[in-house]
Amino acid sequence: MGKGASARADAHTDTASLHQSYQTTSQGAEPTYRAFNAIVVKIGRLQDKSGVPIARVVKAATDAGANDLAGPVLSLEDSATALAGARKAAVEDAMTKAAAYAHALDLRLGRVISVTADDPAPRPLPLTQAAAPPPEAAALDLSVRVTIIWELADAKP
């Protein structure tokens, strides 16, 4: 990415390819080539301490010849703790709701039959929003969806 990007940026090639096609002209078919190179740039912060936004990285990429930009994908540096908390909260919420339904039916929750969970996947942010300076107190929503199937039992064991 060069000097203009960020001292904390980490870049690596994601995809590189070369495609050949033929263009028909009056002199016959001539080969043409299209090269594609996609890189992923990991940035430690959306803004550095002097307040320079991610736009610096976008500018460095376009100055280097990039003409197709996507992202950014926002994520936590260490999501394990936050995900563990979100999973625990999702299970507690499911248990509370299931117990309320069971009680309304004059039943109680029995053993757990199955548990499935959908962990979050990062979503790309439109580039127009990415180039704008982030708000002072940025927030990243993290959610986990859990489905738990319980056996229902008589209220009196």
Cα–Cα distance for residue pair 95/112, rounded to 1 Å: 10
The tens digit of pLDDT for each residue in 70-84 reads: 766 666 777 788 888
The more confidently predicted of residues 20 and 55 is: 20
SS3 62: helix
Cα–Cα distance for residue pair 151/108, rounded to 1 Å: 9
Whether 148 shows a pLDDT value over 90: the answer reads yes
- Chain centroid to CA 133: how far? 20
Tell me the pLDDT band of 140, cut-offs 50, 70 and 90. low
pLDDT computed for residue 100 by the predictor: 96
pLDDT computed for residue 110 by the predictor: 94
Cα–Cα distance for residue pair 103/96, rounded to 1 Å: 11
- Among residues 110, 16, 123, the alpha carbon closest in space to that of 75 is found at 123
Cα–Cα distance for residue pair 121/150, rounded to 1 Å: 27
- Give the mean model confidence (pLDDT) for residues 11-33: 84
pLDDT computed for residue 126 by the predictor: 54
SS (H, E, C) 7-52: CCCEEEEEEEEEEEEEEEECCEEEEEEEEEEEEEEECCCCCCCCCC
Name the least confident of 18-27, 96-105, 127-136: 127-136
- According to DSSP, the residues that pair with 30 across neighbouring strands are 23
